Structure 1
Amino acid sequence: MAMQAPYAITLDRREGPYGEVVLRERGEHFEIIANGCFLMDTSDGRSERLLVDAALNALDALDAPHDAPHTPHHALDTSPSLLIGGLGVGFSLARAAAQSRWGRIVVVEREQAIIDWHRAGPLARISRDALTDPRCEIIHTDLVDYVRENPIGSLGTYQDTYDALCLDIDNGPDWTVTDDNANLYSPQGLAGCMRRLRPGGILAVWSAKPSPAFEDALRNAGFNLVRTEEIQVARGVPDVVHLAVRPA
């Protein structure tokens, strides 16, 4: 007899400014549903972790001289800073916090419910160590609004800019959780991402499928070395990470 899939049990349901967000438990795993759309769960997490790895590997590749031994980030005077767009179930944050190479690690999350589920709820089992790491902080705001803000201070200095942006707030540039999120992938949104990056910084965007149109948008926005990496997952077709570099 075939095994019956476990039923989903709703643990919390919140109505917020962006719609409904739900935390469900299915067997041993948790899943987040936003406005009726499956966002992510704790059954694997491979692609969320590899999103961070891809950004760090891309930074290393840019740092490596073509005719000299590579000097890794951890051997330099400063460690690279990371912005993670979307807390989700916490795999990307936990991965980054487990890597000593990163310096400052910032997560931008717009849903207070998701933050609560990590700080004092079931998802703490994934993010507990990261949230006690002094390098890590959570900013409660909309990522689209955050990248629109001007990070250049009154004296012309860069404030709150990063060496890498790892964005995972949708199922991809062509499949957004809310209509407003499409602004992140627009020319204005990508210009905001560019401003949040330091020269030579890496933009990494998770997607459930490749998007040639988004690759074109990245090039049109002025990013260099645009490429797409496949991430093999246990279920179905591979996930992908879109990678691009802010010109130095």
Structure 2
Amino acid sequence: MPTSYDIPEVLDRREGPYGEIVLRRHGELLQIIANGCFLMDTSDGRSERLLVDTALGALAGRPDPEVLIGGLGVGFSLAHAAADPRPKRITVVEREPAIIGWHLDGPLSDFSACALADPRTEILQTDLVAHVHETYDTYDALCLDIDNGPGWTVTDGNDSLYSPAGLAACARALRPGGVLAVWSAQPSPEFEETLCNAGFQQVRTEEIPVARGVPDVVHLAVRPG
């Protein structure tokens, strides 16, 4: 018989602009589920921290970088960026009002309260795909974590972000020499090729081993100077 510990407890369930979004507790972990698809939980955070570290490291000491974090999630990437003194500005783009609310005055505030109080932090409630298409020469780093990977998107509309046109928009949103970092639940040589074909340079993949299965990765690429 399953114990109560084995059965996730739904803390909040809402119908958002892109479908159902759920926050649940499973033992000591908090989990975000979108349209029945597991997105992330509070179990680790190493790959989310790598997302920020590799992007900032690839900027090679550029002073006062302005960083965009695509997807608030459980707050690991934001908290890690805010703990670093280098960024001048940290903009978080999150399209789900429920997730923002869970951070502002809900269970996820334990992971992000200090970062949200940081005067460098700004939260934009908007769609990331639309935002990069409307933004030009603004950011030094884009740290994107809105899907389970380029080939495993949460909603169909996100597919366009990883297309040649979407990557061209990401490049335009970056300043020359800026860095694009994309989190994925599995490596994608095809996506690396798409990044190269889109004109990015220094394309590489950083891996984070997981307990079972293929490693999480961060795809990294640099807009030419």
Same fold (TM over 0.5): yes
Deviations 1:142-194 (A, max 9, x none): 0011011143xxxxxx4xx1110000000000000011000100111111100
Aligned partner (choices 153, 160, 165) of residue 188 of structure 1: 165
**Is the contact made by 1:46 and 1:233 (CA closer than 8 Å) also made in structure 2?**
no
Q: Partners of 2:211 and 2:56 in 1: how far apart?
A: 23
Letter in 2 for 1:168: D
Deviations 1:35-75 (A, max 9, x none): 00000000111111111011112112xxxxxxxxxxx44xx
Q: Partners of 1:4 and 1:120 in 2: how far apart?
A: 26
- Give the 5 Å matches for 1:1-248: 6-60=6-60, 72-73=61-62, 78-151=63-136, 158=137, 161-248=138-225
Letter in 2 for 1:127: S
Letter in 1 for 2:207: E
Deviations 1:199-245 (A, max 9, x none): 00000000011111111111111101111111123443210110000
SS in 2 for 1:32: strand
Q: Partners of 2:144 and 2:32 in 1: how far apart?
A: 17
Bigger mean CA offset, 123-132 vs 229-238: 229-238
Letter in 2 for 1:175: W
Two-structure CA RMSD over aligned residues (Å): 1.5
What's the TM-score, normalizing by structure 1?
0.87
**Is the contact made by 1:81 and 1:162 (CA closer than 8 Å) also made in structure 2?**
yes
Structure 2 counterpart of 1:154: none
State the Cα distance separating 1:3 from its structure 2 match. 8.7
Change (3 A) 1:4 1:124: closer
Q: Partners of 1:198 and 1:87 in 2: how far apart?
A: 23
What's the TM-score, normalizing by structure 2?
0.96
**Is the contact made by 1:109 and 1:141 (CA closer than 8 Å) also made in structure 2?**
yes
Q: Partners of 1:234 and 1:114 in 2: how far apart?
A: 27
Q: Partners of 1:15 and 1:235 in 2: how far apart?
A: 32
Instruction: From the CA coordinates, give the structure whose radius of gyration is larger.
Output: 1
Bigger mean CA offset, 21-30 vs 5-14: 5-14
Q: Partners of 1:181 and 1:95 in 2: how far apart?
A: 25
Report how many aligned residue pairs link the two structures: 224
State the Cα distance separating 1:27 from its structure 2 match. 1.1
State the Cα distance separating 1:5 from its structure 2 match. 5.3
Structure 2 counterpart of 1:63: none
**Is the contact made by 1:84 and 1:105 (CA closer than 8 Å) also made in structure 2?**
yes
**Is the contact made by 1:47 and 1:233 (CA closer than 8 Å) also made in structure 2?**
no
Gaps of 5+ in 2: none
